Amino acid sequence: MSSDADAPSPAAPQTEALAEALAALRTSDWAGASDAAMRALHFDDRLAPAWHALAVARERQGDLDTAFTCYQSALRLAPDDAIVATDLGRLAYRTGHLELAEKFFVHVLTLRPGDADSAAALASVLRDQGRFDEAGRMLTQIIETRGGSAPLWNGLGTILDARGDADAASVAYAEALRLFPGHAHALNNLGHNLIFRGHVAQGRDCLVQALPGLGGPDNIRTCSMGIAHAGFSLGDLESGWQWYRARETPGTIESLDYDIACPRLGEEPVAGKRLFVSAEQGLGDEIMFAGILPDLLEEVGPEGHVTIGVEPRLVSLFRRSFPKCSVTHHHTTRLKTGPARLFPEIEDWSQYHAWAIMGQFLPRYRPAVADFEKPAFLKADPGRVGYWKAQLAGLNDLPKVGLLWKSRVRHSRRDRYYAPFAEWLDVLAVPGVQFVNLQYGDTAEEMEQALATGRDIWTPPGIDLMHDLDDLAALMSALDCVLGPANAASNIAGAVGTEIWIVSPANAWTSLGTDRFPWYPKSKVFFSSSMTDWTEVMAEVKAAVMKRFAPE
């Protein structure tokens, strides 16, 4: 018979709460884990594992700011905990704080010298800062001194891809998969690489194979969107639209919370309904997807009504283009749980039967490429079109071709999709054409470069090309053609019916497997098979400009 002295001592309350928090994390009970971790910290706020558990739970609940603070508290209490430091670096990287992420991963590597996963993570941070040589040297040195591994070769592949050397990147991914067959991240990256290199069906197969092994909503979203884009590039719109729903994957860094207090529209008919429709994603997509609005208005009919929420710079243009609609603006901000889209002018949501995002109507109204054969859908201000035509006519009687060459959003992996301005100089040398600068943002360096080489580019006075999109639409309507990459401005040009010539990397999903942008009535695409050597495609563009606008 045991005595009281033999009975086990009761666990401290903080220990019990911490054990409960860890058990909840294992079952993905994020709310329960958060509550239990908070109880543990109530008893002992210097309990590093409780701060870590709370950080993990809050991150999975979407409260990234609080999660970051909790990870920091855990690391202050346990500075040699490589797992906590890794989580901090990962979250800093996920939220775009690259300098912080670099510091954390450097710290992890001091705790775990040569650790493959940490080295690959640091290389990703350096890559996204454009420090390709430094990232490549670091991984190559580790491979040469400590031996290769799937994470290291996969990381090296992403650096080569970011530099535009897709062929070499594919070799690195293949080596990663030789060392670790089925490595999900290498399969994912190889799939995107194959799609870019023209092996679209094979790339899609890789992505489908990779998807089950990927963790985290951001990775799952990226892979699923790649599968969607591959389907579009193959002209398989049915599959493409199905996978494209992944853009709404919850819990990603890009997930938008729409502050709308009425039911979400499903697949039901909309005849006679009062609908609120929000634009989605970036400015270019807001314009591109708006091509479905005439179809939606026809289905809603005279007994219903549609209100559209768009970027503030588009309100006047959309009001003129869709007079049967009400048009309001959205405001996107960041809340504790992530980005949210608000509609400040809407006070009474009970007036609407349902709400939708614009792109969800694409499968309904654009099930096949032939369904994109529609007229222009945006209408520029006729008075301003007349004004710009007069301005252009006053320059000379040459054809007027608008020019774009970059995006305002800069990123090491995004920049590779845009040919450097120097690559455009041969095109600008075509005689008998008046080129018009449509590029928003700071273009002083490029204009000096053009002037130094004797290229004649006219910059229209009195217009803010970034903010005055209504007047930009009028200016573009007065041009003979707009030439450049796919960005917000070229989308506006296509939507008002101006002919657009797009210079694009090969297999861009928006071409839907064609040689044009079916979203707009007059378009042509010049595909580049390389993101490091634009010479061939620019020669093609130059020849087309000469043939069309400056024939001998």
Contacts of 370 (CB under 8 A, 6+ apart): none
Query: Which among 358, 262, 275, 266 has a CA at the least distance from the CA of 310?
Result: 358
pLDDT value at position 8? 46
- CA–CA dist 130, 133 (Å, integer): 9
pLDDT value at position 478? 98
pLDDT mean values, one per 10 residues, the chain (552 residues) = 48 88 95 95 94 95 92 96 96 93 96 91 94 94 90 96 91 97 96 93 97 93 97 95 95 88 96 97 94 97 97 98 97 80 96 97 96 96 98 96 81 66 92 94 89 88 95 98 94 97 91 94 91 88 92 69
Residue type present at position 440 = Y
pLDDT value at position 409? 58
Phi (first) and psi of residue 160, to 5 degrees = -65, -40
Domains of the chain (ranges; CATH) run 13-248 (1.25.40.10), 257-367 (no CATH), 382-549 (3.40.50.2000)
Supply the DSSP symbol for 313: G
pLDDT value at position 379? 98
- Residue with tokens 């990663």, as numbered in its chain: 176
Torsion sign over Cα 25, 31, 32, 33: positive
* pTM of the complete model: 0.88
Phi (first) and psi of residue 479, to 5 degrees = -90, 160
DSSP per-residue letters across 458-524: E--TT--TTT-HHHHHHHHHTSSEEEESSSHHHHHHHHTT--EEEEEETT-GGGTTSSS-TTSSSEE
